[in-house]
Amino acid sequence: MTFVNARRRMFAAALQTLGNVAEAEDVVQDAWLRWQGVHHEAVHNGPAFLTTTARRLAINRALGASRRYETPLELWREEAALEPDTSPGMLAERSQGLESALKLVVEKLSAIQRAAYLLREAFNYSYQQIARVVGVSEANSRQLVTRARKHLLEGACLDANPGELRRINSAFIEATQSGDLATLEAVLLADIVDSLTSKSDSRRRGHR
């Protein structure tokens, strides 16, 4: 009964992220399977737990694109070769789903959090690699990813910067298609620098 009562909310959460009815239904089914392995009496708020699970699964599906973006790149090319007849409509749906997921990341995470999250979740970077890219310690890179996951599920949405979203979306797609991770790293780092500069300027104006 708990699952039935939460189903509409779960589907809405998945659809908002993925932009695709069929994939949203798949996510709901995945969440149902997860629910079967949970000790229900230990869950204080079943509907909230299920909705959160569906949203997290949808984000992972959209950013991972069914693991097509995993390294090494040869795996992605092999899978693409097995799907030569992908329709323009399906490609458009995938693109829309990815953009929706990235928009959520931009709306909910700071520049440094989203850099750590995307590199970890979408491209399986080690925490040491993330630390190198964003300029923090390895321990701090772990904290960034943990906080990013929490904020995606619980944090408030802010208005996404259209320019940032376009840059990240373009660099993300380029990275998955050509393996050009250096460009994606550069875009994410540039956003971090811009964010720090804006905060510094705001503090200086506040002291005047």
Euclidean distance between CA atoms 208 and 204, whole angstroms: 7
For the chain, what is the mean pLDDT?
Answer: 77
Cβ partners under 8 Å of residue 156, min gap 6: 108
Query: Using 50, 70 and 90 to split pLDDT, how confident is the model at 189?
Result: very high
pLDDT at position 92: 52
Residues belonging to the chain:
208
Q: Percent of the chain, pLDDT > 70?
A: 77
Cβ partners under 8 Å of residue 127, min gap 6: 120, 138, 141, 142, 145
| Residue 179: strand, helix, or coil | coil
Euclidean distance between CA atoms 72 and 70, whole angstroms: 6
**C-beta of residue 122 within 8 angstroms of C-beta of residue 76:** no
Higher per-residue pLDDT: 195 or 199: 195
- Judge whether residue 58 has pLDDT over 70: yes
CA 82 to chain CA centroid, nearest Å: 26
- Judge whether residue 69 has pLDDT over 60: no
Give pLDDT tens digits for 150-165.
887 776 777 778 888 8
For the beta carbon of residue 142, count every other beta carbon within 10 angstroms.
16
**pTM given for the model:** 0.59
- Judge whether residue 37 has pLDDT over 50: yes
Give pLDDT tens digits for 75-91.
333 443 444 444 555 44
Cβ partners under 8 Å of residue 104, min gap 6: 17, 59, 152, 157
pLDDT at position 133: 94
- Judge whether residue 116 has pLDDT over 50: yes
Q: What are phi and psi of 161, to 5 degrees?
A: -75, 115
